[in-house]
């Protein structure tokens, strides 16, 4: 009887200790991951606050958006071309590890036969920008593209062409991870799993930036993926404008305090939602009566819960990348770093 009690007690102790050890291991694993950050503005000259953040957070790798590739009007036809090309780069960034990022709109991949020429133009422009600002050509680049089943083959071709000149990583959406069989696995060794912009802007009942409920719909316990992953986490806020035709525009940042100060123009109808009472010009946008604004704030609790979902999976997470470097979001990043 005494031995049975001892065995039972030992079993109960193991039930407590094993989950605790797993939790502690997951926390340790989080702390050990290296940190990087995206820079997504056309001018990459850092403010004093942004500069200080990099040194305090120990961030030495910057995923620097070089340009986008989209259709533009050339003479009498539409052609794939670079847009929003980076203009200035500050001295601080020139001393760090830079990974150029190119955002590719899926529509430029509709014509698979055009991919080799697009790849050559991307490669040439990356080299030009890198030589001009950094005096050398990078070894690594990243392609950001929300490819679909119809554009998958063309996007993978683009990756293969660029691999002739660079080590290529790609961004990965949650749906591409969960439905890897239909989405395909890109021909790279590494991808950045985007844990932001996971919801629908049209759904005013949730924060489209990130909710753990949405993440858990795509990542299950024991989830695997054949590539090593960098985990991209949000540190930004935004305000969604919905017009009377239910179309959406975005304002950067959390505007709730400013909107609440003008009750004659904006009526607060929920904690994070406002209705426009009269036509007005606000932050460069014409807002008309009955427009709705939804504030989507940085939510540390949702990030923590989402990280718990990731920790329960078997995904091979190698680093964290924060989106994105901006003076307005420095405090958010400091808060996030405190829990990691």
- The CA angle 50-193-158, to the nearest 5 degrees, is 100
Which of 295, 266, 294 is CA-nearest to residue 280? 266
pLDDT per residue, tens digit, the chain (340 aa), is 444 445 445 454 444 444 444 444 444 445 489 999 999 999 999 999 999 999 889 999 999 999 999 999 888 888 999 999 999 999 999 999 999 999 999 999 999 999 999 999 999 999 999 999 999 999 999 999 999 999 999 999 999 999 999 999 999 999 999 999 999 999 999 999 999 999 999 999 999 999 999 999 999 999 999 999 999 999 999 999 999 999 999 999 999 999 999 999 999 999 999 999 999 999 999 999 999 999 999 999 999 999 999 999 999 999 999 999 999 999 999 999 999 9
User: What Cα–Cα distance (Å) separates residue 325 from each residue in 8, 40, 329?
Assistant: 53, 7, 7
Nearest to 114 by CA among 79, 160, 165: 79
In angstroms, the CA 62 to CA 133 distance is 14
CATH dotted code for 34-236+299-339: 3.20.20.80
Cis preceding linkage at 4, omega within 30? no
Domain spans in the chain, listed from the N-terminal domain onward: 1-32, 34-236+299-339, 237-297
């Amino acid at each position: 009887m005494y031995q049975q009690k001892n065995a039972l007690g030992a079993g109960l102790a193991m039930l407590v200790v094993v989950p605790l050890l797993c939790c502690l291991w997951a926390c340790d694993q989080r702390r050990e991951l290296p940190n990087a950050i995206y820079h997504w503005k056309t001018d990459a000259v850092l403010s004093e606050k942004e500069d200080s953040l990099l040194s305090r957070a120990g961030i030495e790798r910057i995923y620097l958006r070089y340009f986008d590739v989209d259709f533009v009007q050339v003479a009498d036809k539409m052609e794939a071309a670079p847009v929003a090309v980076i203009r200035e780069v500050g001295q601080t960034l020139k001393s760090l590890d830079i990974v150029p990022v190119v955002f590719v709109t899926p529509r430029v991949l509709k014509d698979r036969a055009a991919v080799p020429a697009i790849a050559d133009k991307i490669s040439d422009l990356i080299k030009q920008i890198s030589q001009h600002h950094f005096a050398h050509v990078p070894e690594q680049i990243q392609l950001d593209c929300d490819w679909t089943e119809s554009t998958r083959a063309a996007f993978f071709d683009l990756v293969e062409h660029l691999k002739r000149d660079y080590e290529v990583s790609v961004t990965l959406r949650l749906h591409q991870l969960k439905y890897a069989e239909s989405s395909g696995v890109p021909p790279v060794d590494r991808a950045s799993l985007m844990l932001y912009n996971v919801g629908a802007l049209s759904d005013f009942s949730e924060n489209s930036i990130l909710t753990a409920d949405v993440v858990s719909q795509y990542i299950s316990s024991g989830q695997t993926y054949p590539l090593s992953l960098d985990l991209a986490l949000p540190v930004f806020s935004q305000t969604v404008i919905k017009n009377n035709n239910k179309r959406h525009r975005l304002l950067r940042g959390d505007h709730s305090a400013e909107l609440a100060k003008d009750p004659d123009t904006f009526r607060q109808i929920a904690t994070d939602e406002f209705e426009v009472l009269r036509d007005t010009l606000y932050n460069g946008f014409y807002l008309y009566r009955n427009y709705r604004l939804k504030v989507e704030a940085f939510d540390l609790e949702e990030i923590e819960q989402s990280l718990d979902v990731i920790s329960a999976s078997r995904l091979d997470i190698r680093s964290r990348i924060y989106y994105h470097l901006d003076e307005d979001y420095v405090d958010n990043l400091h808060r996030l770093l405190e829990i990691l």
